[in-house]
């Protein structure tokens, strides 16, 4: 049985891609089981509730040598602990290629599109397989989530085309209304502890010298209600400080992305982070907030800039 | 202009895949130019002569940051020097994933099939593009070469299906006769210098601790005339000794694969190589030749065993 999972701190794409890909592989004769590596966020919980589905089971470890398929990620820092001891036979992803290696030829399918769901739809079509309403809604939701309904610069024509194809199958008549309901669910953060908020959409990246990288924790809160998040600024900064110490990180940033206005204001923990934002982005923090303007995509607009900054020769 | 190339010491797949993929990308709107990283072997020269084609131009370096597409390989040790400074935007390959990393999302298409040509045919079909006779013969030749016309254990049903599809388009009525002509051309080694013979189908692999790997050079001579090769055994051993010293390798092996009888007798340079063959394969060298039986695939039957031997915990 092949275990299929997305990244730690799963988002809607990480969970729905695991569910859809496990089902596709099983239909194609490779028995597969979807897992998640963490709690679904409020947006994903909304999508699953709409579909009357349970989240896939939580996975925390696997015996060395187990066969796995990765979706929506490939770097060990974002995956199941001990990934290098597992047998990665398949990856479907839309991120840069990190530290993954394999011992035999894998099936790899990476495309520079906005969402894993867009690639999974292509896999169905290439195989001549129909898409049922449930899988259609999972892929549709993932694409709307990852591209912020086409607001993100990660959006490609393939993502738009996939949404146009999937919406009627999924029975979603008003795509914008559905996207806004997803974003509202995601923004309804209630009394979620500050550290949970920080870690909800949070990835650790190695930067600089590959042999001795420094690790940065980069969190994002995409919300239709940034005022709520900034109302908890002090709590969040305390949580960032704690995570930085606990995880021996060189820096921690938390970007608060206003979905509807397409802006990014980022919480800046201390002098290290302020220096990097100044030198890499030319942005001066005011108080503990840096206005990163329209840089709303961590993948396209934050990580590449930091990568260049920390590895100037690349 | 995207530069497309296969591995160093190119074989028929490395060169034909570069030619076919560059043409496919150009047809799809991405201007691309095929290159080779070394001299075509006698088999590839035969295929190109049959088609009345020149080999693509030789590439020895590119400026840092140049956009490239890799075919039929992905490890830096088998690629253009300075690969880590290039911008790898695409890879089509059927080998294990090595040390490749990228700075943005690449297009990756890896499949566990016998030949890159088989994957390239799938890309044409998925794009709804016709295959012209020239491209068909290039892909067909590559598949016959890589799979030794289905004799190799790397052969998959997709490779067989691709040959059945391509042969009529390529105008090849008797596939076995064409394959034998290719193999005969490859075996007509004449007065090729011993070092050239060694390096003709030769790859360097890092084994063991990823931070401080030891490098082994693994050459293969696939031939219908092994007696000719063993007639030059002393010369070849001298060349192996020289290459081992020049390239600071931990070991060098040269496997002489008898295509028609599907056997592998491997030249063993010294005590280090003999020890590894004994402990990894359970085979005792006699004189300086080890009988590796039916292990005719470096990829499937030699490299994985060495990998396990040098990294026992994996």
Which of A110, A118, A308 best tests the B interface by mutation, with the highest count of B CBs <10 A? Answer: A110
Mean pLDDT of A74-89: 95
**One domain for residues B129 and B262:** no
Burial class (CB in 10 A: 0-12, 13-18, 19+), A250: middle
The answer to whether B103 contacts A307, with C-beta atoms less than 8 Å apart, is yes
CB < 8 Å to B64, chain A: 313
Q: Which two tokens stand for residue A41?
A: 């966020």
Is residue A312 less than 8 Å (CB to CB) from chain B?
Answer: no
Instruction: Give me the CATH number covering residue B8.
Output: 3.90.1640.10
Is residue B2 less than 8 Å (CB to CB) from chain A?
Answer: no
The alpha-carbon gap from A245 to the nearest alpha carbon of chain B, in Å, equals: 27
The alpha-carbon gap from B77 to the nearest alpha carbon of chain A, in Å, equals: 14
d(CA A62, CA A3): 9
**DSSP summary character for residue A57:** P
Task: Give residue A314's pLDDT band: very low, low, confident or very high (50, 70, 90).
Answer: very low
**One domain for residues B25 and B63:** yes
d(CA A132, CA B214): 50
**One domain for residues A56 and A202:** no
**H helix or E strand, kind and range, residue B157:** helix B157-170
Q: Which of B167, B185, B203 is the last residue of a domain?
A: B185
**One domain for residues B66 and B173:** yes
Q: Could you tell me if B252 and B244 are in contact, meaning their C-beta atoms sit under 8 angstroms apart?
A: yes
pLDDT digits (tens, 9 = 90+) for A280-306: 999 999 989 999 999 999 999 999 999
Q: Which of A144, A165, A185 is the last residue of a domain?
A: A185
Residue B314 has its nearest CB partner, among A97, A103, A113, at: A103
Instruction: Check residue B314 and give its pLDDT.
Output: 46
DSSP string across B17-42: HHHHHHHHHHHTT--EEEEBSS---H
**One domain for residues A120 and A212:** no
The alpha-carbon gap from B64 to the nearest alpha carbon of chain A, in Å, equals: 8
SS3 B45: helix
Look at chain A and report how many structural domains it folds into: 2
**One domain for residues A31 and A153:** yes
Q: Which two tokens stand for residue B92?
A: 């089509």
**One domain for residues A146 and A244:** no
d(CA B19, CA B69): 12
**One domain for residues A122 and A225:** no
The alpha-carbon gap from A47 to the nearest alpha carbon of chain B, in Å, equals: 27
Which of A101, A157, A311 best tests the B interface by mutation, with the highest count of B CBs <10 A? Answer: A101
CA angle B300, B303, B307 (to 5 degrees): 125
**H helix or E strand, kind and range, residue A248:** none
Instruction: Give me the CATH number covering residue B278.
Output: 3.10.310.20
Torsion angle of the four alpha carbons A121, A124, A130, A133, in this order, in degrees rounded to the nearest 10:
-30
**One domain for residues A170 and A243:** no
Query: Which residue range is the domain that position A67 belongs to?
Result: 2-185
Residues in chain B: 314
d(CA B113, CA B157): 8
The answer to whether A110 contacts B108, with C-beta atoms less than 8 Å apart, is yes
pLDDT digits (tens, 9 = 90+) for A169-190: 999 999 999 999 999 999 999 8
Whether residue A97 has pLDDT greater than 70 = yes
**One domain for residues A205 and A126:** no
CA distances from B144 to A142, B149, B182, B293 (A): 42, 4, 9, 22
d(CA A228, CA A235): 12
Residue A110 has its nearest CB partner, among B94, B106, B211, at: B106
Q: Which two tokens stand for residue A238?
A: 């305390």
- CA A286 from chain centre, in angstroms, equals 28
Q: How high is the mean pLDDT of chain B? A: 95
Instruction: Check residue A54 and give its pLDDT.
Output: 97
The alpha-carbon gap from B126 to the nearest alpha carbon of chain A, in Å, equals: 6
ipTM of the complex: 0.88
**H helix or E strand, kind and range, residue B305:** helix B303-310
- CA A255 from chain centre, in angstroms, equals 14
Task: Give residue A211's pLDDT band: very low, low, confident or very high (50, 70, 90).
Answer: confident
Which of A105, A210, A310 best tests the B interface by mutation, with the highest count of B CBs <10 A? Answer: A105
**One domain for residues B23 and B155:** yes
Instruction: Check residue B209 and give its pLDDT.
Output: 85
Mean pLDDT of B36-47: 96
pLDDT digits (tens, 9 = 90+) for B185-237: 999 998 899 999 999 999 999 999 878 899 999 999 999 999 999 999 999 99
Helix and strand counts by DSSP (H, E) for chain B = 11, 10
Task: Give residue A313's pLDDT band: very low, low, confident or very high (50, 70, 90).
Answer: low
Instruction: Check residue B103 and give its pLDDT.
Output: 86
Is residue B100 less than 8 Å (CB to CB) from chain A?
Answer: yes
The answer to whether B97 contacts A112, with C-beta atoms less than 8 Å apart, is no
The answer to whether A97 contacts B96, with C-beta atoms less than 8 Å apart, is no
Q: Which of B185, B215, B234 is the last residue of a domain?
A: B185
Task: Give residue B313's pLDDT band: very low, low, confident or very high (50, 70, 90).
Answer: low
Sign of the four-CA dihedral B257, B279, B268, A102: positive
Residue A105 has its nearest CB partner, among B102, B112, B126, at: B112
Percent of chain A having pLDDT more than 70?
99
SS3 A268: strand
Mean pLDDT of B163-179: 98
**One domain for residues A37 and A151:** yes
pLDDT digits (tens, 9 = 90+) for A25-60: 999 999 999 999 999 999 999 999 999 999 999 999
The answer to whether B94 contacts A105, with C-beta atoms less than 8 Å apart, is yes
Mean pLDDT of A131-142: 98
Mean pLDDT of A267-274: 96
The alpha-carbon gap from A287 to the nearest alpha carbon of chain B, in Å, equals: 32
């Amino acid at each position: 049985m092949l275990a299929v999972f997305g990244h730690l701190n799963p988002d809607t794409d990480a969970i729905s891609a695991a569910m859809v890909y496990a089902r596709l592989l099983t239909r194609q004769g490779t028995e597969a089981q979807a897992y998640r590596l963490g709690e679904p966020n409020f947006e994903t919980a909304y999508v699953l509730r709409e579909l009357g589905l349970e989240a896939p089971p939580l996975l925390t470890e696997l015996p060395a040598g187990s066969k796995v398929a990765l979706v929506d990620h490939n770097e060990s820092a974002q995956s199941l602990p001990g990934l290098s001891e597992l047998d990665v036979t398949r990856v479907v992803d839309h991120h840069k290629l990190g530290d993954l290696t394999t011992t035999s030829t894998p099936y790899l399918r990476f495309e520079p599109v906005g969402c894993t769901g867009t690639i999974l739809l292509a896999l169905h079509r290439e195989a001549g397989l129909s898409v049922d309403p449930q899988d259609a809604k999972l892929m549709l939701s993932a694409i709307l989530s990852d591209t912020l309904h086409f607001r993100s610069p990660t959006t490609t024509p393939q993502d738009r085309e996939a949404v146009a194809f999937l919406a009627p199958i999924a029975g979603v008549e008003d795509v914008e209304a559905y996207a806004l309901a997803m974003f509202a669910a995601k923004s309804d953060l209630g009394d979620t502890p500050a550290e949970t908020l920080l870690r909800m959409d949070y990835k650790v990246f190695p930067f600089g010298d590959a042999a001795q990288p420094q690790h940065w924790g980069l969190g994002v809160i995409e919300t239709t209600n940034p005022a709520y998040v900034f109302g908890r600024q002090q709590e969040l900064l305390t949580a960032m400080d704690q995570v930085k110490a606990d995880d021996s990180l060189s820096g921690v940033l938390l970007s608060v992305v206003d979905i509807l206005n397409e802006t990014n204001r980022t919480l800046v923990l201390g002098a290290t982070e302020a220096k990097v934002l100044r030198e890499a982005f030319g942005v001066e923090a005011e108080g503990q907030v840096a206005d990163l303007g329209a840089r709303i995509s961590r993948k396209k607009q934050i990580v590449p800039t930091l990568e260049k900054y920390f590895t100037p020769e690349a």
